[in-house]
A and B are shown apart, each in its own frame.
Chain A
């Protein structure tokens, strides 16, 4: 056990079950007396419900129950809560309209749930759902955030007649305006950060059951944070004591943020299970995923950067309108504010930044966190501005970055964050070399001979991860703590079970966390099991999102390990008749310093559970410790991406010919897993840049991109093989020195791709191309530029 497991490419412990089809996802769970739910959903974007007739459905074969908003109201089921209170520019709380679990008199987007049918089989439930007659009075709809705040726009909620949830701002506007007045050059861009549909390949699913004997509920649910799900559902919606509800998030087939939230279906199946005395299962069809999973992004932004004559950033001004959709989803309000404006400093020393955000309700699906959540939007603003500024000022885009990099740490930004450490020059230098930027001119020339346009684009991103110091989050409006919990249960023979509040839905915690524990205890990875995703097993947890698992969840485990080792030292001192201060510990061995006396970890564990020779006067038997960890700061992963594209001007088709990513994630536990996280993130980001664009019909509010044939998530032949490397500045405030890696690719990639595309088209007069840069969009940009030139 001498070789360190930290930094080792350990194969995943969870793989066997997935490779043999033995994984257990929510839809795989069939409980005794299982019944099935189907939801009746609004076909209209905006309508009042005049009447609902359920009698035909109730008489249909196999139907056990049909429930509408009236039943939910009679049962006093509350609305879904929002977990983050934003205070507006006037000091007023944001508008929080009710978000009923079944529509109350009105529907506000296509897919809004109106009724539920529960039957013996899923087919019977679906058949009967078609027999529910809903009489609607269709209202005008608005899907575009900018239009929603115009006079005369249809109002979604009584509480917000102008559809505005809040207008929020960060920064000193007067000082920023003054900096702009004195600037040598100002770069201004206006763009849309395109709306995305998350599309985890496992659709959402929930299976609720009520056990009369225990007077308790169990909910199996595809979810990233089962304790948060339970807290929100019991305390805010159902009025149940938490200890009567067990939430299990078993194997979960991808989340990307979309499975953080408490959804109406989760509540309805849990509630209905008690009404019927039967477990009730609902699994989304893909069209329901498209319509009702919380979407991401959807910002309209005007961004300006002010520079002195040398290209030094002196001020930044950003105005964003954020589309929240029809209702406030669980963390929706925090995404375009706290997770966005605070990242606008990027890797740079911009001394003055002002950001104003107007958040707006529209007749579309709720919008919330999606891989990166606010930080991809911020990086897009910063990096598109920086690259455009460089071109306008005729500076090399890497040179303008170097002139503005933060080089002294800790660094206090103008937008509330304090970066603890980093080395932005190091990742940039490595990326330039790896991408062979020096040889680009030659490649561009060669491509031109073939009639193709080559472009090179950069993105130097930063993100705030390891969410979050609870006190800071609380002062910014969070209604929950953001710590993590971990428990180490040492068994008498020295093997270990670890319980973590983090949740793995593909990230490989069962391996990475086992490496951390096995390395510290001198065990093999096989002797450490990681348990997660079940509120009846794990003591508590805030779950997995915001690249927080290893930084916050991993640290909680480290703190529990500290306690195990402290107790182990006391036991070892007793067994070796030494004073506790003389006992040293390293990787599974307790030694009396200066002697050859030692005890292995397994011997200490055995002594703790078979305490014949034991310091009973000082210690309890057993070896089982838990810890809660609340981080003192965010972590700040950062990196440099270089994208090289080749565009066919005849078709507008963009091909990524090379993509280089050099990241600084601090210490890396398992490079193989980290590489996979980066690949996935990059592909998500490239999807946003090139292929993924959610569209609603502007008049009817129908979702136009409602299937995989209209909404294109990247396929294997759409993306290149990536070149990756890392540089390492360990995080200064957690014991593992880790920062998190799950979102980086999705944060940095869109700007890198779009900077490459605009580089290729710059000489034609194209300053900006909207995302997604499909062949048609790029072709149009080229055509428009040629027309202007003619």
Chain B
């Protein structure tokens, strides 16, 4: 009783990836198990914790709530795709380090993705807007305050860069 497979082509972190996947394979399992992009984490499998957030065509979505087949012909960015090609941290990543916006690191990938999507859409968010934007991402370690500071710091730095 082998499962039917479906062909998909997905741009993942700038690279075209093709695969044959069963219909029930979730996008996050495909990224983690097949592509070995284990930076995207699974926290709840029911779309509530946000740990598995990725960017789909630039928008933050939960990879546990999508099937891999649904990503066909789309563009996916995972946490592994946020740094510069030489491994240098992005302004956002570096701001998380400077403001201590992470502890155990497990929710961090999803937080970065949510923050990236926020800053792309709203370069000058207020603290309330930041808290709302990461309101779908659970963190048990930080109490969120230093995450908010990190995102605010990144916004300021990106402003300076643009100026």
Question: B86-103 interface mask toward A, CB cutoff 8 Å, 1 = contact, 0 = none?
Answer: 010100010011101011
Within 8 Å by CB of B146, from A123, A252, A506, A676, lies A676
Question: B24-38 interface mask toward A, CB cutoff 8 Å, 1 = contact, 0 = none?
Answer: 100000001100111
Give bound CA distance, A505 to B143, whole Å.
16
Contact between chains at B41 and A25 (CB < 8 Å): yes
Q: Does A201 contact B (CB under 8 A)?
A: yes
Residues of A within 8 A of B97 (CB): 11-12, 15-16, 19
Name the interface size band of chain B. 35 or more
Say how far B161's CB is from chain A's closest CB, in angstroms.
19
Q: Does B112 contact A (CB under 8 A)?
A: yes
Say how far B54's CB is from chain A's closest CB, in angstroms.
11
Name the interface size band of chain A. 35 or more
Q: Does B139 contact A (CB under 8 A)?
A: yes
**CB-nearest residue of chain B to A14:** B105
B residues 60-109 near A (Cβ < 8 Å) are 78-80, 82-83, 87, 89, 93, 96-98, 100, 102-109
Contact between chains at A201 and B40 (CB < 8 Å): no
Residues of A within 8 A of B138 (CB): 201, 708, 713, 715
Contact of A21 with B106 at beta-carbon distance under 8 Å, contacts A201-B51, A676-B142 already known: no
Contact between chains at B104 and A253 (CB < 8 Å): yes
Q: Does A682 contact B (CB under 8 A)?
A: yes
Give bound CA distance, A254 to B104, whole Å.
6
Contact between chains at B93 and A19 (CB < 8 Å): yes
Contact between chains at A680 and B103 (CB < 8 Å): yes
Residues of A within 8 A of B145 (CB): 679, 719, 721-722
A residues 506-556 near B (Cβ < 8 Å) are 506-508
Contact of A201 with B146 at beta-carbon distance under 8 Å, contacts A12-B100, A253-B105, A286-B44 already known: no
Question: A248-277 interface mask toward B, CB cutoff 8 Å, 1 = contact, 0 = none?
Answer: 000111101000000000000000000000
Contact between chains at A201 and B37 (CB < 8 Å): no
B residues 118-159 near A (Cβ < 8 Å) are 127-128, 130-132, 134-148
Q: Does A20 contact B (CB under 8 A)?
A: yes
Q: Does B15 contact A (CB under 8 A)?
A: no
Q: Does B4 contact A (CB under 8 A)?
A: no
Give bound CA distance, A721 to B100, whole Å.
15
Q: Does B45 contact A (CB under 8 A)?
A: yes
Contact between chains at A675 and B100 (CB < 8 Å): yes
Give bound CA distance, A681 to B146, whole Å.
13
**CB-nearest residue of chain A to B149:** A721
Contact between chains at B1 and A61 (CB < 8 Å): yes
Q: Does B42 contact A (CB under 8 A)?
A: yes
Contact between chains at A254 and B144 (CB < 8 Å): no
Give bound CA distance, A11 to B99, whole Å.
8
Q: Does A203 contact B (CB under 8 A)?
A: yes
Residues of A within 8 A of B96 (CB): 15, 19
Give bound CA distance, A721 to B130, whole Å.
12
Q: Is the interface of A mostly helix, strand, loop or mixed?
A: loop
Contact between chains at B104 and A716 (CB < 8 Å): no
Give bound CA distance, A508 to B142, whole Å.
12
Contact between chains at A683 and B144 (CB < 8 Å): yes
Residues of A within 8 A of B1 (CB): 61
Residues of A within 8 A of B137 (CB): 716
Q: Does B162 contact A (CB under 8 A)?
A: no
Contact between chains at A201 and B140 (CB < 8 Å): yes
Q: Does A707 contact B (CB under 8 A)?
A: yes
Say how far B84's CB is from chain A's closest CB, in angstroms.
10
Contact between chains at A254 and B141 (CB < 8 Å): yes
**CB-nearest residue of chain B to A707:** B46
Say how far A740's CB is from chain B's closest CB, in angstroms.
16
Say how far A35's CB is from chain B's closest CB, in angstroms.
14
Contact between chains at A19 and B102 (CB < 8 Å): yes
Give bound CA distance, A678 to B144, whole Å.
11
Contact of A18 with B140 at beta-carbon distance under 8 Å, contacts A716-B147, A721-B127 already known: no
Contact of A507 with B43 at beta-carbon distance under 8 Å, contacts A15-B96, A20-B83 already known: no
Within 8 Å by CB of A673, from B39, B100, B105, lies B100
**CB-nearest residue of chain A to B33:** A30
**CB-nearest residue of chain B to A505:** B104
Contact between chains at B93 and A20 (CB < 8 Å): yes
Give bound CA distance, A541 to B6, whole Å.
49
Within 8 Å by CB of A253, from B41, B46, B128, lies B41
Say how far A43's CB is from chain B's closest CB, in angstroms.
19
Question: A709-734 interface mask toward B, CB cutoff 8 Å, 1 = contact, 0 = none?
Answer: 10001111101011000000000000
Contact between chains at B93 and A675 (CB < 8 Å): no
Give bound CA distance, A81 to B127, whole Å.
48
Residues of B within 8 A of A286 (CB): 43-46, 49
Contact between chains at A708 and B46 (CB < 8 Å): yes
Say how far B110's CB is from chain A's closest CB, in angstroms.
9
Give bound CA distance, A675 to B143, whole Å.
10
Contact between chains at B100 and A676 (CB < 8 Å): yes
Q: Does A426 contact B (CB under 8 A)?
A: no
Say how far A255's CB is from chain B's closest CB, in angstroms.
8
Contact of A717 with B132 at beta-carbon distance under 8 Å, contacts A15-B96, A28-B38, A707-B46 already known: yes
Say how far B152's CB is from chain A's closest CB, in angstroms.
11
Contact of A201 with B43 at beta-carbon distance under 8 Å, contacts A18-B108, A713-B140 already known: yes
Give bound CA distance, A745 to B137, whole Å.
21
Within 8 Å by CB of B104, from A201, A679, A681, A684, lies A201
For the complex with contacts A21-B109, A254-B104, 17 further pairs of A-B residues with Cβ separation under 8 Å are: A15-B97, A19-B97, A19-B105, A20-B87, A21-B78, A61-B1, A200-B104, A251-B105, A253-B105, A506-B104, A678-B143, A707-B48, A713-B138, A714-B143, A716-B135, A716-B144, A717-B128
What are 24 A-B pairs at a CB distance below 8 A? A11-B98, A16-B89, A19-B82, A19-B102, A20-B89, A21-B37, A21-B109, A22-B80, A23-B39, A23-B106, A25-B106, A30-B36, A201-B138, A202-B41, A253-B106, A254-B106, A286-B43, A672-B100, A676-B100, A676-B146, A683-B143, A708-B138, A715-B138, A717-B132
Question: Which 10 pairs across A and B sit closest by C-beta, in order of nearness?
Answer: A21-B39, A253-B106, A18-B105, A506-B104, A679-B143, A683-B143, A506-B103, A21-B79, A708-B48, A28-B38
